[in-house]
Chains A and B, each alone.
Chain A
């Protein structure tokens, strides 16, 4: 009896041992027949919409809005008040006049010794794309002091008047891609006019000064590389070849962007490139 009960219990145990609950083949087939046409229908809808989107002709198609560049430009403008520093160098003379009184000849003159103005980039905005060029507006202004010396009626003197500088210009940048994941904004050469204004009172000599200094845009702003969010280096987590310690190690790789191109239209830039990855040695 005990043996019989033991056998029955073993049999029940074996029957109870099951691996995993699975639907029957017929139940699975029913689901497959139901889901497949629904997936096909949704695919057709999505593919029809995406066919109208810009085709992906290269490995990476990046689209950057003009408003995004202005997020950065506006931050540059509002961040601090000494974006550009101007140091005045010796200028002999900035003004001179020849006088003759009772047969005595003399020169009145004013020289600049030194001076300093901290210029604030007050406004910087990218306005429009124009045939792969970017139109922008900059406004810079600042106040400081200059140290002048001179002679008036033969009497030497020196003063340090306040000087005011101002510049507002429309400028342009050429947009070029690089093979390191950047687009470069290169200023198109242009002569800018920096307006200077100060007033010198040297002894009894009142000398207002309102002149323009010519600058080249390329002297004021150099080429600006802007990252398109991809670094040219990448680290990938890979399983550790040695057991114990870290489960993953980080291995560096280099990204090569090949045959990069730029197209600008509709308030955005499109950057396209082919992509290759290789281990960094």
Chain B
């Protein structure tokens, strides 16, 4: 009786195991890639809106204070077109994630909103070791903030859409790899520290030497030497508005050579 019960249990377990392996649910669970796509997408959308709300509230508060925005030595409004011009330089760029995984950037564009920006990227990655191709499209919310004289850039990916083509030994793992990519990218803010951009730049320009001979009641030559003017430009503030970025800079440490 006992041995019959054990046999039935074993048989049922075997059936369940076969179904599970076929649907990959065990492998998905074990790989940590068991997510519901709609639930994941909604969670990302809510997170992105929360970050956007915080950024736009900060911008609103900044505009409400008494200091006018053009209160620096030099200020610039730079249109979205300029940033996209710079972004276009990265199209076709090829890089390496590791010795056997390369990627190519297919397209890059930036849309500037009040308080934040959305960077849209399409790229292709290929792992020659595991024979996997990934076509990836994703959006990233970019947030810039001046903290303690450093410009901190935070990136939050969303709308992550990897299309995986796995061959060979990983041939049946497209969905698992796709989910793993989504999960890892969604967590990128915790895994990597925010980018810090320098805010202080050295600059210089030259006033050229002049020499003039004068013939008047007294003959004389007037000579002014070459002057090299060195100075530092320091970013005072960066604000993002619809379709444009505002940058305020101050000039200091002016030195004459």
Contact = CB atoms under 8 A, between A and B. Distances in A.
Nearest to B6: A3
B81 A39 contact: no
A75 B256 contact: yes
Interface stretch (B47-55, B138-146, B165-173): B47-55
Contacts of B233: 229
Contacts, number: 246
Contacts of B219: 88-91, 112
Interface stretch (A58-66, A97-105, A128-136, A200-208): A58-66
B220 A87 contact: yes
Nearest to A225: B205
A22 interface: yes
A216 to B, nearest CB: 8
24 contacts: A14-B29, A17-B30, A19-B34, A19-B179, A32-B49, A35-B46, A39-B52, A42-B114, A43-B56, A45-B60, A46-B59, A56-B244, A62-B74, A63-B76, A72-B231, A87-B220, A89-B219, A94-B218, A227-B203, A239-B93, A239-B95, A240-B95, A241-B94, A275-B81
Interface string B6-27: 1001100100000000000010
Query: Does more than half of chain B's interface fall in helix, strand or loop, or is it mixed?
Result: mixed
Given A39-B49, A60-B76, A46 B60 contact: yes
B219 to A, nearest CB: 4
A80 B213 contact: no
Given A4-B9, A68-B73, A215 B214 contact: yes
Interface string A11-49: 000100111101111011101100110110011011101
B148 interface: no
8 closest A-B pairs by beta carbon, nearest first, are A239-B95, A28-B42, A219-B212, A79-B256, A35-B49, A31-B46, A89-B219, A243-B96
B229 interface: yes
Contact of A60 (B36, B78, B103, B224): B78
Given A63-B76, A88-B219, A241-B94, 4 more contacts: A3-B10, A23-B39, A56-B244, A94-B218
Contacts of B69: 53
Interface string A73-89: 00110011001111111
B77 A60 contact: yes
A80 B256 contact: yes
Nearest to A216: B212
A20 B89 contact: no
Query: Does more than half of chain A's interface fall in helix, strand or loop, or is it mixed?
Result: mixed
B148 to A, nearest CB: 23
Contacts of A67: 73
Contact of A47 (B75, B221, B222, B242): B242
Interface of A: 3-4, 7, 14, 17-20, 22-25, 27-29, 31-32, 35-36, 38-39, 42-43, 45-47, 49-50, 53-54, 56, 58-65, 67-68, 71-72, 75-76, 79-80, 83-91, 94, 112, 182, 196, 211, 213-216, 219-222, 224-229, 231, 236, 238-244, 247, 251, 253, 275-277, 279
Contact of B86 (A17, A54, A277): A277
Nearest to A248: B95
B192 to A, nearest CB: 14
Contacts of B187: 20
Contact of B218 (A62, A80, A91): A91
